[in-house]
Structure formats: structure tokens, C-alpha cells
Structure 1
């Protein structure tokens, strides 16, 4: 009886060093799900294949860091917006800049291609939304209405509307034909990070930093449902191709939602950190995230993720389309009326236009072409993807899903999903759902190796005592596991190192400021400046110095230090509590008799103005209350 290989639900595909400086933006091509574009502080746009570690093409021309990227539906054009407000459009097939679109006065925060025509929408930190005609190189219309940065733009599937999400907590729907605002959706209590149209119905989803996902009816202009109380802000959302569920990317997790009624079908733990973009290809969800100069890609096998309450976990078939369990809302909701033009016609039209523009560029385009260039770093991959012999087979790898690693395979992907989720899948699933990855030579070879281990190791019992085959056969596996664990540890160390450097640098600047005050003034003014900085670590460092020299303590310092000691005693850090206790001990040792005498002294004959001021001052009452609490303890 053959033993089925249990594979993972989610795993890390690869991690690449994308730029020489920090990565600022990443985007996946939605056509194939295999093209990745990255933008960095080095002002470059790099093009990658998701499954390959080498850069295919590097696009230059921007003079400021890249803030936003977007790839058109047929993956022939890419648009990049910079921090200076400039927008450039590249033709990937011709490997040259196609257009430069100036107009915004601040950072480009969002971009999106029209699904049919050669148009691009851009949103900026200047709160404006501009619609550009790539062919005519001009701004068609400017939409104004947001009061803060526009973080996301999406065209409707029929190309008639554009939805915008902004930091002003609103989602706006704009009519492209009339050139005006159709409706403003309110309800979010934090910046709205992302919006997404349903592929078929008049439905819009929005995700916000208030940790909610809201669904909006675009026919009745009202909220359909709201999913609340998530742990982290919503960073990206994506409807399934059949439109029966919504995939939402959170910090280190993927959630699957339904909206009528609102419910969560599943939560998949994926160690991708702050996910930046999602794409679906071959029943696999691809997610990318970035940190500093590295970009990581992850894969989630959607055949193991339920999309409905009515279907058991792990038994979803591609050849059996799913229908939501409560189709009443969807059956009554209006469907998009797409234009009669097929998908191939807009693509061919854009291609012919780009051809004519290549042969007869304007003088300004010539100047842009000289300033902007495409450095093809991998000629073979570039020709295979962007210049194929047959246009129908543009992206050869798109028909082959990424093979899932075995559950017991060591590596960084081991952290991508909890073991209980992978073991829960039935053993018959790989035969029905994943025939191709099992039959492929790489997986077949690794599978046969893992299957032969039990047959080789028992054979060592017939060998002399002390000679164990297990000491020799798994050596390569153990070595790779050690190497991967070391790389994993180094990655974690580097990640924490950068954060610690920022913290220590800030702390060093604050201490320098306090030291400068102390050198020109006295200890009281330096304590005042430390308290004003509102950083307990600086207060602790200063108190540690004062505690070493008891003569520095004065009664007027107590009124400044005692409120800070209250905070230190409630801190979760042991060193802070110890410093607070030491300071409080010195205060009580030196000034307890004086405080007691002041409190117990009878009033003198006449009016003692200084005593009345001390008794009425809030700084005096604080040590009095604190002293009584300590005595009670």
C-alpha cells in the first residue's frame, strides 16, 4: 500500500536581495501571478520572475525613490511613481520608457491601470487623483475631494468607475464618464489602506487600519456587512476569481471571508510579516512582502483552504465551482456590463500604439529615453517572458503550479504554517488534487529519498556493532537543515539589530541633550529636560547617576522625580523598578524626617505664607500621598 506524502498548506517560496538600498514598493502581475516588480530607494525598478532568484530587467530614469508600482493586465506595461511626484511608464517588451507624466506635487501613493483602455489613475499625497492617457501623454481629468493621502485606487471591472481609499477614513466612488463623485462611503475609523471590486457583482470591499473589512453595495450605496476585531491592520484584499470569498492579508496570516452574512471561513498562518500584495494563479495564492532590501514570496495552496461553510476542509476541487451557501444577496445584486470588446483587442490596440510611438517619438520622448534606460540582466529569461515566439504562450511557467514541499522537509518554510493544519488533510488528497507536483522529477527524487530511509536504516542491523547507516545517509539532510537554521537565525538577528540601532541612536541623542543642559546648568534643569523628553530610559540613566552620589539630592528634586518614580514602579522592566526603588529609598532616608516634621508641625502664630504655599501646592501633596501609601504597605 502506497503512503501518500503530506504537503504543506503554505510555505515560503524564496527570498531575494532586491535592491542595493531599502525596498519601498512591490507589486505582482495579476495576469500570470509570476511577474514581480520591486521599487527601491535607489530610484530603480527591478523586474523578477517569482520563482527565480535573478533580476530579469532593471529600469532607471527616476531621480527620487520609488513610492508606488503597478503592472497592466497583460503585463506589457509597468508604471512607477516616485517621491517627487513624477510618473514613468515603461514598455517591457521594447525595454524602454514609454511616457513621463508630470503633474503631482507630492509623493505618488497609488497607481492602477484601466482594464481595457490605455489609461492610468494615480493618487498622491497632495490628495488629488489624476486620470492619464498613456497614448496621448496627458492628464484627462483631476478628481478632488479627499483631504489626505490617497492610498489605493481600483478601476471597476467594466472600466466605468474608479474607487479610491485615503487616510481621511473614507472610500470614494468616482464616475469616469461624468467626471464627478458618485458616492462617499464613511464608516471606517482609521486610514483606509485598500479597496477591491468584486469581479462580477456590484460589490466593493475595503480594508482599513482600524482592523476592519467592510463590504459596500454599489447599487444601494450602503454597507452590506463589516468584519471587525481583527488583530492587525488590513494590508491587502483580493476576491477569489469566482467571487465566492475574499482573501485578506494580515500580519503573518491569511483570512478567508464571506459577507452575506459576515463570517470567516479559515485562517491560514503564513510567516510573511507585513504582506504587500496578493495574486492568484493555478489555484495558488502568491503573497509578497518586503523588509529593508529583501523581498520574500510565499505560496498558499488554495485547494486546502475552504471557501465556504458547506465544504469540508481540504476537499475543494478546481473542476467544481463553488457557490456561496446563502446566494440570496448575490442573486439580487446587479452584475457588471462589460464592453463587447474581447480581451485580445485592447491588448493588440495598445501594442500597435506602442509600436507607432516607438517609431515616431517626440523630442521630449527622445530626451526621456536617453535619461531612462532598461538594463536587461538576464537575456534568456527576458526573451522567454517578454519576447516569446508565440504570443499565446507569453509566460510558459504560468500553467505549472509551484510544487509544495513535504511536511517533514526542513527549511524556512517550516514556520509558514502550523503542523496541525497540514496533518489535518486527508491522505487521499495528494492523489486527487496534486498529481503534477508528485510526478515532477525534483519532487519525485526527494520523495523517493525520504521513502528509502526506512528501508536502508533497518538494514544496518546486519552490520557490525557500532556502524550505523543513519550516521552516513542523512548527513546531507542534516547539513542542509543546519545551514538553513543558521541562515534563519542570522536573518532574525539582523532584523532585530536594525531596530535596536534605531532605538539606541534615539536614546543617545536624548542623553546628549540632557548632558548639554547639565553642563550649562544644574541637576534640576537637566531632570526637567529629561522628563520633558518623555522617555523613561533617559530618566533611568539620569537617576542611576544621581543615586550614586547622594549629595546631589535636594528637596526640590523630589517634586520632579516622584511622579517619574510612580511610572518606574509600574514598569514591566526589572531594571526600571530597581532604579525607582533605589531613588525612593534615598528620598525617604534623606527627607522623610523633614517631610514628617512639616506635616506634623503645628501652625505658628499668625499667617505663615511659605507654609500655606507648601500645603496648597500639588507637588507637596504628591510625596505626602506616596509616603502614606508606603507606610500602609
Structure 2
């Protein structure tokens, strides 16, 4: 008899297309672990509820790519920093922008909200750290000392200190009240990517590109532990809620570390790639990573992870200790003294001016999710989003657990009863399931003659599934052959002829594959290539496939940004005296491109009013095409 299925320790929760272009910033709300904000090269900040497919809110106003985002402690406000060095602050409950702060001279790499006051810290590639008063819309203080870009900022739990990590291999600790440097930790041998305060004790952890994690005593300002077993640069670390261990997210695993003495408690394989942020909720660790425009979320069940005791004996997680001056064992340090009054709800900030309101907008994309999180009924003041249920785990062997049945007991299958539905306990089937829950295979298959649907057995179900397998294999084989033909032309270095060959094959998937390569390098685009691609873009913009639509929008955006000014200038310039063959050829190409763009503008205009992610992409294209009118 087969052993009953057991739940997994770690699993992929969801993958979403978060932006119309590459994702450049990604952060989780630390209080709930369920709210996610993404910043993109499309200059937008999008808000999501983890494990739900639809964007809750889209925040606009930045004119350059968003490079950093951060929630405040109550998850009622969010701040985003852009490539141009500006910050914008939004009130999520009021669904509007409240502040625009400018002053940095280069990319904003890091942000953090003060845990109690209405302050934001920002770190930039200009090597400066600035402390901003959100209410008064001004810079309170500037901290100078780093010589390269600041990659991470963290306020201490009591709000008195600010820790900064930078590409200059140092970690610095700043006293906010005195406005000066308290301590500097220069022991890392590579850029420092992340710092985290212990939730209770005077202890700081830092992770670096030198593949080490270091622990710093903030009473004696000295190194008390170092883990050098990481296989890749350290980018994401997080102390457990009780402060008993530190989680580190590598490319293929989660490692759980202790200190004094340094040891690795456990190593959990997780194929989450380059993790951008971590959070803990309901005994689950949530990790998020991005690849181009996609964002993936993962879950690790902490009840199945070793977080205390002796070090895990795993060859994947060697820990190389350092020479220590402090005694072995758990040392007693000072505990942070929080303010006696809590700050559950920040003071209301006066709204922005009319001009700023036009520039910065909070567009609610999903009213139901928005009201559930930010406008709960019968609530005067809101605590962080109330999520009481953990994410459901899939079963390792795909089998549903059944209670043991005595051998002499007949098994009776009762008629399925409809699940009760109520506002407090809705009937929901998780998107993370391995099998349909409470449903049979027959519910998804056409009825078989001679048998009632309830009698469809496994073999018949598999037979139905196999029917499309051969067809799919033939489609993929054909696509591979077509790509080989295009690649042969591509190897000659002629991009235009490569595109012509892809078009001639009459397989739109091959055109999409080729465009996805060309879109990565704008210098490949020429006017001849535009002529070949524009008719294909029209097909892509009308496709039912999301990836085709996304590729079409990006290609059209590149063409408009790179060639529309040239096309309009060429058409408007007076005819030269004499014969200019090259100009005549360029003029002919520009006229053809203009005609195709005019045709596309009607399609773009008709879809610019749509809601959601694609609606925003079409609105952006509509603005770029306004010069055609």
C-alpha cells in the first residue's frame, strides 16, 4: 500500500506578468507578507496581493524607470524612487499621491520608512543619504560618507539609528538625533547589498557580493560572526520574527543561520532564482523574484524547517567560522526601547497641488481587492492587512490524504454535496493546487458514450489527455525547424533578411521569438526593419495571446521612440534642389512607415480606454502616436 502524500516544504506559489516592460524594483510588505509592490521600466508602480492574479492599483507619475520601492510599517503608504533621483509618496487608503520629493542627482537605489515618524530615508548613486520629512515636504538632513552607490537602508526598530550598505564595501551606522556617523564596519571585501537589524537585540546583519554574511554587535561595535558558505552574492536576508535565526535566500536554496557560534541550522532547496525580498507570515516564509517582466512568488513552510539546535550536516552549506574574541554561546545584549505610544496610523498629509495631482495618479485596477485590503467595512482605523490563513501547500506525490479504513469495512462513495458558500467562508480553489480539489477528472472531460460521467476511470482520463500530445509535439517540432531556418539567415548578420524570412514562414510565433531578441538591443532597429515589422505588429496587437500582445506593444514603442521624429521631420522638410537619390529612398520609406503607423494608431486609440495592464500600455502608445494627428 502506498504511503499517504505529505506536504512539501517549499513550493512555487504564482507567476505573474507585472509590467509591460522589465521589472526593476520589487518589495513585500513586512507586516502582512501578503502585499507586493513592483516598479518597472515603464515608470509605473503596481500593487498586488500575493497569490492573486490581478493588479490592485497602478501608480503613475514618474517619468523615468522606478528603481526602488518601500512600504511603511502599516502598509498604508508607499514611496518609490526613480532613475532621475525623484521620490513620490502615495497614500494607499486615499488612493492618491501626497508628496513629490526631489534633490538627488542620480538613480535612487534604496529607500526605507521610519518605523514611527513620517520620515523617509533615501540612498542614491550620487553617494548621498537623505532624510525627508513627508509632512513638510523637505529634506531634514543629508548624510555624507560613502564613496559609491548606497544599496540598502534600514532604520533600527526603535527609530534612532539608520544603517546603510554601499558598493564601497562598507556598512555605516548613523545617529539620527545627532546627525552624525556612529560606527563604520569595513570588513566586507565586496559591495554590500543588504543590511537587517535584529528585531529585538542590538545586532546587525549584512550580506555582500563577497558571498558572506556578517553579524555586528551594536553595543561594542565589533564583528561577532561571519558565514562564508554562500554560493552566490548575498542579496536577501531576514531575521525570523522572534530573532532566533537568520534566513538567507540563495539562487537555489534557503539557508537558516545562527550566530555565536556561527552555524547553519538547515538548507532547503528552492528554485526561486535571484530573490529580491523576503517576508514571514503565519509560519511561512514568502520570497519574491523577477525575470524581465515576470514576477514569481515562493513559499517555505517554516514548521518543516530547522531553526534551532545544532548545525545541519550538509555539504551544500559549509560555514567557515572566524576567530572570535567573545565567549561562545548566546550573549545578552540590550533590547531596543520602542516609544511608549504606538503609531498605528500616520497623520494625514495635506494633498498635493493640482499640477502634481495631474502628474501622479493612483489608478485602482481591482476594486474588490482594493476595498478588501484598504477599505475594510466597519473599521475606523486599520491595522496591517488581516490575513489569517497560510498559503495552501501542494501535495508531494499529487495524492489526497485519506484516513485509514479497516479491511472489512466497505467503502461507500456518498453523493457529492455542494460546498457551503458564505461571505465569511467562500468556496475557493487555490491556484497552487496539484489536483482539482473536490472535483473529478470527469468534470473536465467530454462525456463518453455508454458511461455516466461519474464512471470515467484513470485510463480513460489519460487517453483523453494524450489525444492532444502528438499534435503539440508536431507544432513544437515545426516551430523548431522554422527557427533553425531563421537562425541560418541571422548568422549572416542581416537582420532585415532574417525578419523577412520569419514573415515568409507565416508562423507568428517565430516572428515573436525574433522580435523578443531584437527588442533587447535598440541599435538593431533600422528604417528597413520597421517596414517589415509594422504589418506584423498589427497582427500581434490583435492576438489573444498575452505574450504576443506584450511583444507587439514593446516593438511599437521602440519604433515610435526611435523613428517617429525622423519620419515626421523627413515628411515635413522641403524638397531639395537637384536629384538626391538617398533622400528619395528615405522619403519613400518614411511615407510607407507613416501610412502603416496611421493605420495602427486607430487600433491603439480604440484600445487605450481598456482597464488593466494592457490598457496602460495602449494609453502610453496613444500618447507617443499623438504626433501623427
Give the TM bin, normalised by the shorter chain. Answer: 0.5 to 0.7
Q: Call closer, same or farther: CA 1:449–1:150 in 2, change over 3 Å.
A: closer
Structure 2 match to 1:197 = 197
Q: State the Cα deviation string for residues 125-160 of structure 1 (Å, max 9, x = none).
A: 000000001011110000000000000000000100
Contact 1:108/1:122 (8 A) holds in 2:
yes
Q: Call closer, same or farther: CA 1:312–1:251 in 2, change over 3 Å.
A: closer
Q: Call closer, same or farther: CA 1:503–1:390 in 2, change over 3 Å.
A: closer
SS at match of 1:74: coil
Structure 2 match to 1:347 = 344
Gaps of 5+ in 1: 314-325, 411-438, 454-462, 510-633
Q: How does 1:165-204 map to 2 (within 5 A)?
A: 165-204=165-204
Return the alpha-carbon distance in structure 1 between the equivalents of residues 24 and 109 of structure 2.
Answer: 11
SS at match of 1:70: strand
1:59 is aligned to 2:59: yes
Structure 2 match to 1:401 = 390
Return the alpha-carbon distance in structure 2 between the equivalents of residues 482 and 117 of structure 1.
Answer: 62
1:469 is aligned to 2:457: yes
Return the alpha-carbon distance in structure 1 between the equivalents of residues 516 and 298 of structure 2.
Answer: 27
1:259 is aligned to 2:247: no
Structure 2 match to 1:227 = 227
Q: Call closer, same or farther: CA 1:445–1:50 in 2, change over 3 Å.
A: closer
Q: How does 1:293-442 map to 2 (within 5 A)?
A: 293-309=293-309, 330-342=330-342, 346-348=343-345, 350=346, 352-354=347-349, 357-358=350-351, 365-391=353-379, 398-409=387-398, 442=429
1:148 is aligned to 2:145: no
Return the alpha-carbon distance in structure 2 between the equivalents of residues 395 and 205 of structure 1.
Answer: 26
Return the alpha-carbon distance in structure 2 between the equivalents of residues 442 and 480 of structure 1.
Answer: 26
Return the alpha-carbon distance in structure 2 between the equivalents of residues 91 and 451 of structure 1.
Answer: 42
Return the alpha-carbon distance in structure 1 between the equivalents of residues 470 and 354 of structure 2.
Answer: 54
Gaps of 5+ in 2: 314-325, 400-425, 442-450, 480-508, 526-629
Contact 1:170/1:187 (8 A) holds in 2:
yes
Q: Call closer, same or farther: CA 1:279–1:477 in 2, change over 3 Å.
A: farther
Q: Call closer, same or farther: CA 1:442–1:54 in 2, change over 3 Å.
A: closer
Return the alpha-carbon distance in structure 2 between the equivalents of residues 480 and 177 of structure 1.
Answer: 68
Q: How does 1:573-592 map to 2 (within 5 A)?
A: none
1:42 is aligned to 2:42: yes
Contact 2:264/2:312 (8 A) holds in 1:
no
Offset at residue 347 of structure 1 (A): 2.8
Q: Call closer, same or farther: CA 1:403–1:475 in 2, change over 3 Å.
A: farther
Offset at residue 229 of structure 1 (A): 3.6
Offset at residue 249 of structure 1 (A): 1.1
Q: State the Cα deviation string for residues 151-176 of structure 1 (Å, max 9, x = none).
A: 00000001000000000000000000
Return the alpha-carbon distance in structure 1 between the equivalents of residues 160 and 48 of structure 2.
Answer: 32
Offset at residue 69 of structure 1 (A): 0.4
Structure 1 match to 2:8 = 8
Return the alpha-carbon distance in structure 1 between the equivalents of residues 60 and 253 of structure 2.
Answer: 34
Return the alpha-carbon distance in structure 2 between the equivalents of residues 174 and 87 of structure 1.
Answer: 22
Return the alpha-carbon distance in structure 1 between the equivalents of residues 438 and 354 of structure 2.
Answer: 59
SS at match of 2:56: strand
Structure 1 match to 2:413 = none
Return the alpha-carbon distance in structure 2 between the equivalents of residues 483 and 120 of structure 1.
Answer: 56
Contact 1:385/1:394 (8 A) holds in 2:
no
Larger helix fraction of residues: 1
Q: Call closer, same or farther: CA 1:504–1:333 in 2, change over 3 Å.
A: closer
Q: How does 1:538-617 map to 2 (within 5 A)?
A: none
| TM-score calculated relative to the size of structure 2 | 0.64
SS at match of 1:211: coil
Q: State the Cα deviation string for residues 381-417 of structure 1 (Å, max 9, x = none).
A: 111111112447766661110000011239xxxxxxx
Return the alpha-carbon distance in structure 2 between the equivalents of residues 298 and 369 of structure 1.
Answer: 36
1:164 is aligned to 2:161: no
| TM-score calculated relative to the size of structure 1 | 0.63
Structure 2 match to 1:243 = 243
Return the alpha-carbon distance in structure 2 between the equivalents of residues 393 and 475 of structure 1.
Answer: 53
Q: Call closer, same or farther: CA 1:227–1:312 in 2, change over 3 Å.
A: closer
Return the alpha-carbon distance in structure 2 between the equivalents of residues 127 and 498 of structure 1.
Answer: 40
Contact 2:16/2:294 (8 A) holds in 1:
yes
Q: State the Cα deviation string for residues 545-598 of structure 1 (Å, max 9, x = none).
A: xxxxxxxxxxxxxxxxxxxxxxxxxxxxxxxxxxxxxxxxxxxxxxxxxxxxxx
SS at match of 2:276: strand
Q: How many corresponding residue pairs?
A: 442
Q: Call closer, same or farther: CA 1:256–1:485 in 2, change over 3 Å.
A: farther
Higher radius of gyration, 1 or 2:
1
- Aligned CA-pair RMSD: 4.0
Q: State the Cα deviation string for residues 458-495 of structure 1 (Å, max 9, x = none).
A: xxxxx9xxx99332245688799999999x999xx99x
Structure 2 match to 1:99 = 99
Return the alpha-carbon distance in structure 2 between the equivalents of residues 287 and 471 of structure 1.
Answer: 38
Offset at residue 336 of structure 1 (A): 1.0
Offset at residue 501 of structure 1 (A): 4.5
Return the alpha-carbon distance in structure 2 between the equivalents of residues 74 and 123 of structure 1.
Answer: 22
Return the alpha-carbon distance in structure 2 between the equivalents of residues 223 and 205 of structure 1.
Answer: 10
Return the alpha-carbon distance in structure 2 between the equivalents of residues 378 and 405 of structure 1.
Answer: 27
